[in-house]
Amino acid sequence: MKEKLVLIGNGMAGVRTLEELLLLAPEKYDITVFGAEPYGNYNRILLSPVLASEKTVDEITLNDEQWYIDQNITLHKGKNVTRINRAQRKVITGDDLETGYDRLVIATGSSPYIIPVPGHDLPGVITFRDIADVNAMLDAARQFSNAVVIGGGLLGLEAANGLMKQGMSVTVVHLLDSLMERQLDKPAATLLKTSLEQRGMHFLMEAQTKAILGDNRVKAVQFVDGSELPADLVIMAVGIRPNFELAKSAGLYCEHGIVVDDTMQTYDPRIYSIGECVQHRNKCYGLVAPLFEQAKVAANHLAHIGISRYEGSITSTKLKVTGIDLFSAGEFNETEGDEALVLQDPSQGTYKKLVIKDNKIKGAVLYGDTMDGTWYFQLMRDETDISDFRRTILFAQHDLGDAGHGDEKTRVMSLPDNAEICGCNGVCKGDIVNAISQKGLFTLDDVRAHTKASSSCGSCTGLVEALLAGTVGDGFDATPQKKSMCDCTTHAHDDVRKTLIEHNLKTIPEVMNFLEWKNPDGCNKCRPALNFYLVVAWPDKYADDYRSRFINERAHANIQKDGTYSVVPRIFGGETSAAQLKSLAEIAEKWDVPTVKFTGGQRIDMLGVKKEQLPGIWGDLSNAGFVSGHAYGKALRTVKTCVGSQWCRFGTQDSTSMGIRLEEMTWGSWMPHKVKLAVSGCPRNCAEATIKDLGVVAVDSGWEIHIGGNGGIKVRVTDFLIKVETMDDVLEYTAAFLQLYREQARYLERTAPWVERVGPHYIKEQLVDNTENRKVYAARFHKSQKYSQDDPWKQRAEGEDAHEFTPLKLIKEVA
């Protein structure tokens, strides 16, 4: 028989836990849900747009009743659980319905705090928490004209904005002298107040409520100084309190909330708790992103996987008032020892402040231009050292060499529905917005799975994130997390890699076993990554797992859209000869190659070769002296050169020879992603070395080495590493840089994002400042090359992996 799981609280945190659980263990439990509200699960954070008539209740519904039926979940809506009998393991509702449980999840959320002043219970005094409150407000707006909102925090301002949109005259009363003091510093709060005043909102600051006046219905609000404000509707929005009375009455340990450990378990091991009602490591959360993280952890333990831990969240806030962009995270008021970077442009209504300590971001407040909020938040979470770009950090991420799509959530949101967002998959803005609102998507991964937008080259990721943020508001799970490698594991790339070295794991099954992979086969995401990490860790011992290679690396050729392959022989440094060209021409003719084309990397591409022809054509190429160009691999691709001092009247050094030596040293090496090098013979840089993974530019006195460039998806100009004197120096630095990249970048991370992530100064520290270290890395690269500079084409022409290239035939028919 299935175990019984009961969920008290049909809100976002509780139902998210069920969704996560159903993904992990769909058949494990008989599930019963109790919800006090007479609705299915809806997106509470979108109540503000409902109040502002920008959305309907249907539009913010996450799980309708059919969902519960489809999942075989018993839903008791509109029922309050009043008691938990832990000894007999059952919950009891107000109308004496008893339900037994094996596991219980308490997700009772929070309630608005009501100031206990005289008159607080008069009709017309309400809070802003659920659909009933919104309906009461909409109702009042139709009959009355004066509203007073007590509380100038996030929720109060959103309520005030909604009521104003409904035509009421609204005054916000705030106890302190600055709005949203928990999210904003004074300058930002002043900008916000001015902007809201321009829209017609009134404010009464530093005012303490003494009483609410009225007979049958509220008439006015009275303050401590004796003044009064007329009011037909009073909204109390001064804060929330975790709902833990039920848990407490059942004898569960509570302080400010229900106390849980890192597995979201309460003091009763059969009972879990998540959401706004819990207290975890002395913190209570009232935002959605942490709740979702908690839900994931609780589901993991309910499914008996038991390896996931919640370690607390750093949160960020945005205000959901249309037309006002505001972002805040971390410690935004500087204290002693902190520095504040501030950019203020009053006429444009923008304000940006970053609080910095030891070159790391501690907090951020953005007003007017919040485009870079997610980025600052990521830098803060990752504790990235910002010294490399500190001078420009306030001027937006795209000023740091991101020449992608530029700025503005607002601009993206105001695009027409048929504007193409994802150029790879042809996905328009309307498709994305519809998928987000109709399917209730919250994360970038959700949107990628459902629409394919941003799932290919990723250059539109910023735009898709902007659409997510604009469509779901705070529901957008922008919280950067340590991402797991794939759904087969909860471990992140760097952790897996560290573990396989520390514990001496030498095969993919060993790694999966040790780290308790959920799926013994892994998947098409994790297996190629593991294979690469093992290749780098154990160059002399690891036997490459052919089945974990993407087809291009398995067949050593590039698969084309019609299933044929392309063949690109290596032409060292791009320098060829008449004899070489002649033999290529003869081979292309002999095998009837449909298309022959020059590549961008100074070599020759033969396209349209059938798979079974590959070993034959490779045999001929091998006999003519060619080796594989690895144009198909996460590997060293080309070394592009200009002619240099041998011919060019401007050339300062022999760049072609340098390129050939570099390619001879590096060919055959597997990399986290493709790697392209270039050598230019003078600063005119005809080989375009400054948009390569590693570029060498000759000057009269030696060679400049540049790193981390990219000419593709997002153009990035290289960072200058060092100037050296001799060709041998260039070779040593290149070997060391490539090995550092191989050992430390994540699989499928190109040098450009890697250099940005770790910072160019880190690479200088490792390779320039520390000579010993550089020599060690270079030596490890050369050791690895001993095992990888074995031409894969020659091996296969001689019969290796023959089954890969030979189709089967039907043998005989039997009755």
Partner 1 sequence: MSNWIEVCALEEIPPMGARVIEQMNCNIALFRTRGDQVFALNDRCPHKGGPLSQGIVFDTRVACPMHDWIIDLASGEACGPDNGCTNTYPVKIENGHVFITLTENATAAA
Are 157 and 320 in contact by the 8 Å Cβ rule? The answer is: no
Whichever of 559 and 715 has its CB closer to partner 1, that residue is 559
Shortest approach of partner 1 to residue 422 CB, angstroms? 13
Going by their DSSP bridges, the two strands 29-35 and 73-77 should be labelled as parallel
**What are the distances in angstroms from CA 171 to CA 150, 460, 543?**
8, 42, 72
Cβ contacts of 281 within 8 Å, gap of 6 or more: 262, 312
Shortest approach of partner 1 to residue 522 CB, angstroms? 6
Whichever of 456 and 613 has its CB closer to partner 1, that residue is 456
3-class secondary structure, 334: coil
Which of 253, 550, 720, 787 forms a contact with partner 1 (CB under 8 A)?
550
Binding of partner 1 at residue 555 (CB under 8 A)?
yes
# binding residues, partner 1 (CB under 8 A): 32
3-class secondary structure, 8: strand
Binding of partner 1 at residue 548 (CB under 8 A)?
yes
Name which of 669, 660, 665 is nearest 639 in CA terms.
Answer: 660
Angstrom distance (rounded) from CA 40 to CA 11: 8
Whichever of 108 and 548 has its CB closer to partner 1, that residue is 548
Whichever of 85 and 524 has its CB closer to partner 1, that residue is 524
Shortest approach of partner 1 to residue 810 CB, angstroms? 5
Whichever of 499 and 552 has its CB closer to partner 1, that residue is 552
DSSP string over 729-780: HHHHHHHHHHHHHHHHSPTT--HHHHHHHH-HHHHHHHHTS-HHHHHHHHHH
Binding of partner 1 at residue 810 (CB under 8 A)?
yes
Instruction: State the binding string over 494-523 for partner 1 (x if CB under 8 A, else -).
Output: -------------------------xxxxx
Which of 9, 112, 528, 708 forms a contact with partner 1 (CB under 8 A)?
528
The partner residues of 635 in beta bridges, in order of sequence, read 670
Could you say which residues in the range 362-421 bind partner 1, by CB under 8 A? none
* Torsion sign across C-alpha atoms 101, 103, 104, 107: negative
Shortest approach of partner 1 to residue 53 CB, angstroms? 31
Are 145 and 232 in contact by the 8 Å Cβ rule? The answer is: yes
Element (H, E) at 111: strand 110-112
Whichever of 449 and 581 has its CB closer to partner 1, that residue is 449
Which of 413, 551, 722, 779 forms a contact with partner 1 (CB under 8 A)?
551
Binding of partner 1 at residue 807 (CB under 8 A)?
yes
Residue type, 197: E
Q: Which stretch binds partner 1 (CB under 8 A): 180-188, 206-214, 269-277, 555-563?
A: 555-563
Shortest approach of partner 1 to residue 21 CB, angstroms? 18
Which of 527, 674, 676, 692 forms a contact with partner 1 (CB under 8 A)?
527
Which of 336, 502, 540, 813 forms a contact with partner 1 (CB under 8 A)?
813
Both structure tokens of 170: 């609204």
Binding of partner 1 at residue 814 (CB under 8 A)?
yes
Shortest approach of partner 1 to residue 547 CB, angstroms? 5
Whichever of 416 and 563 has its CB closer to partner 1, that residue is 563
Whichever of 422 and 738 has its CB closer to partner 1, that residue is 422
Shortest approach of partner 1 to residue 739 CB, angstroms? 27
Angstrom distance (rounded) from CA 692 to CA 678: 7
The tally of CA atoms less than 13 A away on the side-chain side of residue 689 is 28
Could you say which residues in the range 569-628 bind partner 1, by CB under 8 A? none
Are 464 and 476 in contact by the 8 Å Cβ rule? The answer is: no
Binding of partner 1 at residue 812 (CB under 8 A)?
yes
Q: Helix H segments across 452-492?
A: 461-472
Element (H, E) at 427: strand 427-428
Angstrom distance (rounded) from CA 509 to CA 521: 8
Which of 143, 563, 578, 598 forms a contact with partner 1 (CB under 8 A)?
563
Are 515 and 484 in contact by the 8 Å Cβ rule? The answer is: no
Cβ contacts of 6 within 8 Å, gap of 6 or more: 31, 32, 33, 34, 91, 99, 101, 103, 104, 105
Binding of partner 1 at residue 799 (CB under 8 A)?
no
Binding of partner 1 at residue 109 (CB under 8 A)?
no
Shortest approach of partner 1 to residue 559 CB, angstroms? 6
Which of 72, 524, 701, 770 forms a contact with partner 1 (CB under 8 A)?
524
Whichever of 230 and 430 has its CB closer to partner 1, that residue is 430
**What are the distances in angstroms from CA 75 to CA 7, 31, 78?**
10, 9, 10
Shortest approach of partner 1 to residue 752 CB, angstroms? 23
Angstrom distance (rounded) from CA 347 to CA 223: 36
Could you say which residues in the range 277-306 bind partner 1, by CB under 8 A? none
The partner residues of 604 in beta bridges, in order of sequence, read 598
Both structure tokens of 498: 């560290």
Which of 450, 757, 764, 782 forms a contact with partner 1 (CB under 8 A)?
450
Cβ contacts of 82 within 8 Å, gap of 6 or more: 92, 93, 94, 246
Whichever of 337 and 520 has its CB closer to partner 1, that residue is 520
Q: Which stretch binds partner 1 (CB under 8 A): 125-133, 491-499, 548-556, 727-735?
A: 548-556
Binding of partner 1 at residue 808 (CB under 8 A)?
yes
Shortest approach of partner 1 to residue 814 CB, angstroms? 5
Phi, psi of 170 (to 5 degrees): -120, 130
Binding of partner 1 at residue 27 (CB under 8 A)?
no
Q: Which stretch binds partner 1 (CB under 8 A): 92-100, 210-218, 450-458, 722-730?
A: 450-458
Whichever of 205 and 424 has its CB closer to partner 1, that residue is 424
Could you say which residues in the range 212-231 bind partner 1, by CB under 8 A? none
Query: Which residues are near partner 1 by CB under 8 A?
Result: 449-450, 455-456, 519-524, 527-528, 547-548, 550-552, 554-555, 559, 561, 563, 803, 807-815
